[in-house]
């Protein structure tokens, strides 16, 4: 028996397995954002919950990811596009006379956080688990604060955004991710992997 040849083959197989494991780990890192320590909740969320407690039911729960079936994907695309097409952009200052106010856009007007709140509500009302629908604060391509909805799935984290009619993987947004709701409790916020300092609230500019 050629022990040397067998040893070489085994070493080669081990090396290939190691490379495959590293590639898989890299893929997982890209599919899912790096979650850090507890972060301060945005002021807008705190005020929204004080005014609309039924939308902010908290408490510890088991994290859940969506199984991204073809039907689930169609639902995400449909909700994202419908809200983006239906709600008209308006700053909080023009809308409410204040710099920052999170609210469900029941009158048809709102800024980025309001789009997110409506998409989240529609999906929860349709039976989607709240633990997989996470309000997220990012910095957009201009470096300004912005809010999007992260949908946690078994295929990665996808983003519903009022600036994009397409639903895309978080790494394809061009944004820097700052913080988001915890899967375990919507009233707990966690920092995301980002070298920039966190922003307290999302921007209130129209179109955001």
C-alpha span between 150 and 180 (Å, rounded): 8
Record the tokens describing residue 186, joined without a space.
């919507």
Q: Quote the CA–CA distance of 8 and 2 in Å, as a whole number.
A: 10
pLDDT in tens, 152-172: 999 999 999 999 999 999 999
State pLDDT tens for residues 45-104: 999 999 999 999 877 888 899 999 999 999 999 999 999 999 999 999 999 999 999 999
């Amino acid at each position: 028996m050629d022990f040397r040849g067998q040893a070489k083959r085994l070493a080669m197989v081990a090396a290939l397995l190691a490379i495959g494991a590293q590639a898989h780990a890299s893929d997982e890192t890209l599919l899912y954002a790096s979650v850090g320590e507890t972060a301060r909740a945005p002021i807008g969320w705190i005020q929204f919950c004080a005014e609309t407690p039924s939308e902010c039911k908290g408490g510890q729960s088991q994290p859940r990811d969506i199984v991204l079936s073809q039907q689930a994907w169609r639902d995400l695309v449909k909700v994202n596009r419908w809200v983006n097409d239906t709600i008209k952009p308006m700053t909080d200052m023009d809308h409410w006379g204040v710099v920052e106010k999170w609210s469900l856009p029941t009158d048809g007007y709102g800024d980025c956080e309001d789009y997110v709140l409506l998409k989240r509500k529609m999906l929860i009302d349709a039976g989607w688990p709240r633990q997989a629908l996470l309000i997220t604060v990012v910095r957009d391509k201009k470096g300004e604060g912005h809010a999007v909805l992260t949908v946690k799935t078994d295929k990665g984290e996808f983003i519903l955004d009022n600036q994009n009619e397409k639903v895309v993987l978080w790494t394809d947004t061009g944004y820097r991710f700052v913080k988001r709701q915890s899967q375990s409790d919507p009233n707990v916020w966690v920092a995301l992997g980002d070298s920039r300092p966190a922003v307290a609230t999302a921007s209130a500019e129209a179109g955001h």
